[in-house]
Structure 1
Amino acid sequence: MLHGLAMMEQQNHPTTHFWREISVIFIARLWLSAGSRIVYPFLGPLSNGLGLSVEQTGALVTLRTLAGFAAPVLAPLSDTYGRRRIMAITLTIGAVTFAMLALLPHPWVAAIAFLGLGLALTAFGPAMYAYIGDRVPYAKRGTITGLNELSWALAWLIGVPMSTWLITRYSWRAPWLVLAALTVGGAVLVQRLPPPAKHASDAHAPQAFNGRALLALWRSLWRLPTVRWLFLGAFFLSAAIETPFIVYGVWLQNLHTISLATLGFASTFFGIAEGAAEIASALFTDRVGKIRSVILGLLLLVGAFLALPTVAGRSLTAAVFILSLALFGFEFGIVSLLPVASEVVPTQRAAVVGLIGMGLQMGRTMGGFLGSWLWQWEQFTIHMSAATVFAISSLFCIWRIRHAVHHWEHDEAQS
């Protein structure tokens, strides 16, 4: 297994130019993510603009999620054609889809737009993490990954208020046009980033991108035990959080008889929990150790799941607090896992990160279907039981690779 190829000496001492690069990626991803996240609170205005029911528009939005299964094809693109190029192209595609929604409000156009957005997100993420992996030494990668992941939380905290103001003052089209312009600007800035530092793995970058080469790539990666355990760990972790969260709103409303407005206010704490987890990862993951951080996040997730059925009935505050702890543990674990995925095979960073992303997507899909199906009994304890089993399964998978990752971290500390 490949690991720890030498970085340029300047990478160990981040400069102003380096932080400028990270800021460009952060801002570009923020606008692309905002276009994905504002769909949920503004599904009503979007449905009216498209002339569809909320259910019909929701079905179109799922096309964005299904695009995640194209990761085996899209993720390796940046390993072949370059990180900056793929990031810039996918940002441009995202901007085009935003403009399509605003300027061509037709159901078929919206379907193409959401599918295109999903494909752009699927290719952008692995390219972004691979770029960070190329530029940042493994010992410091947890900090940069955690800081960069704040863009996901801020996409909600900035995108939703901005869109509310634009829709109120202008129309439902306005947020999409503004995000299209901002995302194009991000694409231009990303393309102007310096290339990643050269290292030995560049000499082994794949020269072909076709069906046979892709099949050979995935066969070679799947033969690596660490890759398999990471994939399964990500799958079970995503299933663990999605199984209860798909119905948490209905459950809280039934349990405490609250209004939609109260539920919406309570849900803002989940966004705060996400941001707090990303900050915590930036501060502690490199110090504690990547794999230890993932394990700590999983233990917190399991503890929250075990406590929720007992505590939730006492008050809405208690229920939201425990759910926020669960989300914190999940997010802290995922963000701490990404640097590990980016170092398993340095010559194929994007491919491995894409594979882990597909595992997360598959777990989310299964958890969503399972959680919805289990709700026919309206017993949230069943959801908690299933989620706990998934979380423990993820913990088992991550535990299996702890020695290999500790070895990497020890080597990095000695270098």
Structure 2
Amino acid sequence: MTTLISSHRIAAPAAEGGAPAKTAHAPFLPTLVTFVATALLATGQLYGVIPLLGAMGREWHAPASALTWMASAFGFGYAAGFLVFGPLSDRFGRRRIIVTGIAATAVTTALVSLAPGLGAAIALRVLQGVTTAAFAPVAFTYIAERAEQRHRATLLSAVIGAFLASAVFGQLAAQGIAAVAGWRAVFAVFAVAFALVAAALRKVMLPGRPDTAGSPLDAYRAMPRLLAHRRLIPLYLATPVVLGSFVALYTGLALTGAAGGAAALLALRAAALPAIIAIPFVTPALQRFHGAHRATGALTLTAVAAALIGFAHPGTLGLAILLNAFVAGIGLTAPALIETIGGHAGPARGTAVSLFTFILFVGASFGPQVAGALSAHGLPALAYVLGALLALGATLTLTARR
């Protein structure tokens, strides 16, 4: 089996789990639609609870400090699940893991709607996060293996863009449903949506032959080797700053009041949607560049945008423009890192991408803490620190060039 993949493509084994043979490619448009819909739903669960916290607090007579765990609990379960399902997909197949996990998420999401109190709800949110994690790392690996080379970057960028857009989608959908039917109905509706996308994923994804050779623990045994891989170390070190800076900046906008009220902040999030929509169309044109170089350029763009936010003190329009540049850089960085990490990982691609996704969302979990520590000094201080971290990330990815 191939141990090193070309810098501009990732070899596509026919069977899921890595069994080598030639197979049909994944259908482009059905895969794009179902994967984007699933990504919006999956990561939307992290953000969708935010507009519901007030109603939950009133029903359970719980303080705001306790209710924030409704968001954090999902995030911790989500990140932990990446380390479970990516390696398992190497063993049992990509489609089986994704479809089973998303079907299970329909159940765990419905259970949240029935939670009798805050403690039970937090526990169920952890479980919901774990089952939802079956999608992201396995989907990245599936695209790298089964999509045509000319469609691979577009699909990866579209899924990454959906993860970013879910910050807007999750809150708007939850807010709209809750206004009509209450907060419990939000999770009931999302549960039905997960059941529908699970059925669609089963229909659209290509079946594959699981890899039955060796032990199911082989994927986990590969983790120390991947973390010590000299070409992967700088890429993994750069990964936390990608989503971490995204979450930190938007959290800082809220904490410092630079964006105005909650409605203005939501409008600024929505204002970045043009960049998110454009990413899948721009990425194919950049495929002639090595993945590590694309990551370096995208992180540099994001670092410059962050620094300008701090330096220029832009008004609402200027901030919206710079946020588009910032989000574009984030959206272009992630698929470039996935391609490069997968190329260096060889047959352990599924495990390597799972580690990437885990580190990516651990970084996102620390984003609010960074914002909380620096926002007292104003948005410029936060923007400068994020710009420096992103510049460091760009330097690290540059060293990963073969």
Fold in common (TM above 0.5): yes
Do the aligned partners of 1:102 and 1:177 also contact (CA within 8 Å) in 2? yes
Within 2, Cα distance between the matches of 1:291 and 1:137? 21
Do the aligned partners of 1:241 and 1:327 also contact (CA within 8 Å) in 2? yes
Q: Does 1:276 align with 2:271?
A: no
Instruction: Specify whether residues 73 and 373 from structure 1 end up closer, same or farther in structure 2 by C-alpha distance, changes over 3 A only.
Output: same
Within 1, Cα distance between the matches of 2:248 and 2:163? 21
Within 2, Cα distance between the matches of 1:168 and 1:367? 29
User: Which SS does the other structure have where 1:127 is aligned?
Assistant: helix
Within 1, Cα distance between the matches of 2:352 and 2:45? 26
Cα offset, 1:186, TM superposition: 1.8
Instruction: Specify whether residues 375 and 162 from structure 1 end up closer, same or farther in structure 2 by C-alpha distance, changes over 3 A only.
Output: closer
Instruction: Specify whether residues 160 and 367 from structure 1 end up closer, same or farther in structure 2 by C-alpha distance, changes over 3 A only.
Output: closer
Instruction: Specify whether residues 223 and 124 from structure 1 end up closer, same or farther in structure 2 by C-alpha distance, changes over 3 A only.
Output: same
Residue aligning to 1:85: 96
Residue aligning to 1:352: 352
Cα offset, 1:322, TM superposition: 1.9
Instruction: Specify whether residues 124 and 247 from structure 1 end up closer, same or farther in structure 2 by C-alpha distance, changes over 3 A only.
Output: same
Within 1, Cα distance between the matches of 2:111 and 2:54? 18
Within 2, Cα distance between the matches of 1:266 and 1:162? 17
Cα offset, 1:300, TM superposition: 0.8
Q: Which amino acid aligns with 1:311?
A: A
Residue aligning to 2:268: 266
Within 1, Cα distance between the matches of 2:387 and 2:170? 33
Residue aligning to 1:180: 191
Q: Does 1:29 align with 2:39?
A: yes
Q: Which amino acid aligns with 1:30?
A: L
Do the aligned partners of 2:87 and 2:220 also contact (CA within 8 Å) in 1? no
Within 2, Cα distance between the matches of 1:277 and 1:51? 43
Do the aligned partners of 1:293 and 1:336 also contact (CA within 8 Å) in 2? yes
Cα offset, 1:183, TM superposition: 0.7
Question: What percentage of aligned pairs have identical amino acids?
Answer: 16
Instruction: Specify whether residues 385 and 161 from structure 1 end up closer, same or farther in structure 2 by C-alpha distance, changes over 3 A only.
Output: closer
- Residue from 130, 138, 141 that aligns with 1:130: 141
- Residue from 104, 114, 121 that aligns with 2:125: 114
Within 2, Cα distance between the matches of 1:245 and 1:35? 17
Do the aligned partners of 1:294 and 1:337 also contact (CA within 8 Å) in 2? yes
Cα offset, 1:83, TM superposition: 0.8
Instruction: Specify whether residues 249 and 348 from structure 1 end up closer, same or farther in structure 2 by C-alpha distance, changes over 3 A only.
Output: same
Structure 2 unmatched runs, 5+: 15-20
Residue aligning to 2:231: 226
Within 2, Cα distance between the matches of 1:358 and 1:158? 22
TM-score (norm 2): 0.84
Q: How does 1:279-298 map to 2 (within 5 A)?
A: 279-281=281-283, 283-298=284-299
Residue-by-residue CA offset, 1:197-216 (whole Å, 9 max, x unaligned):
67xxx76x763234xx4552
Cα offset, 1:383, TM superposition: 1.9
Q: Which amino acid aligns with 2:251?
A: I
Residue aligning to 1:42: 52
Do the aligned partners of 2:168 and 2:266 also contact (CA within 8 Å) in 1? no
Structure 1 unmatched runs, 5+: 405-415
Q: How does 1:321-336 map to 2 (within 5 A)?
A: 321-336=321-336
Residue aligning to 2:303: 302
Cα offset, 1:242, TM superposition: 4.1
Do the aligned partners of 2:138 and 2:350 also contact (CA within 8 Å) in 1? yes
Do the aligned partners of 1:295 and 1:395 also contact (CA within 8 Å) in 2? yes
Q: How many residues align?
A: 389
Residue aligning to 1:19: 29
Instruction: Specify whether residues 335 and 122 from structure 1 end up closer, same or farther in structure 2 by C-alpha distance, changes over 3 A only.
Output: same
Do the aligned partners of 2:299 and 2:330 also contact (CA within 8 Å) in 1? yes
Within 2, Cα distance between the matches of 1:243 and 1:180? 29
Instruction: Specify whether residues 194 and 305 from structure 1 end up closer, same or farther in structure 2 by C-alpha distance, changes over 3 A only.
Output: closer
Residue aligning to 1:207: 214
Within 1, Cα distance between the matches of 2:393 and 2:127? 31
Residue-by-residue CA offset, 1:34-55 (whole Å, 9 max, x unaligned):
3333222333234444543333
User: Which SS does the other structure have where 1:225 is aligned?
Assistant: coil
Residue aligning to 2:114: 103
Within 2, Cα distance between the matches of 1:34 and 1:239? 17
Q: Does 1:55 align with 2:56?
A: no
User: Which SS does the other structure have where 2:272 is aligned?
Assistant: helix
Cα offset, 1:174, TM superposition: 1.9
Larger mean CA deviation between 147-156 and 34-43 belongs to: 147-156
Within 1, Cα distance between the matches of 2:159 and 2:383? 31
Residue-by-residue CA offset, 1:289-320 (whole Å, 9 max, x unaligned):
433322221111121122222212x5232233
Residue aligning to 1:248: 253
Root-mean-square deviation (CA, aligned residues, Å) is: 3.0
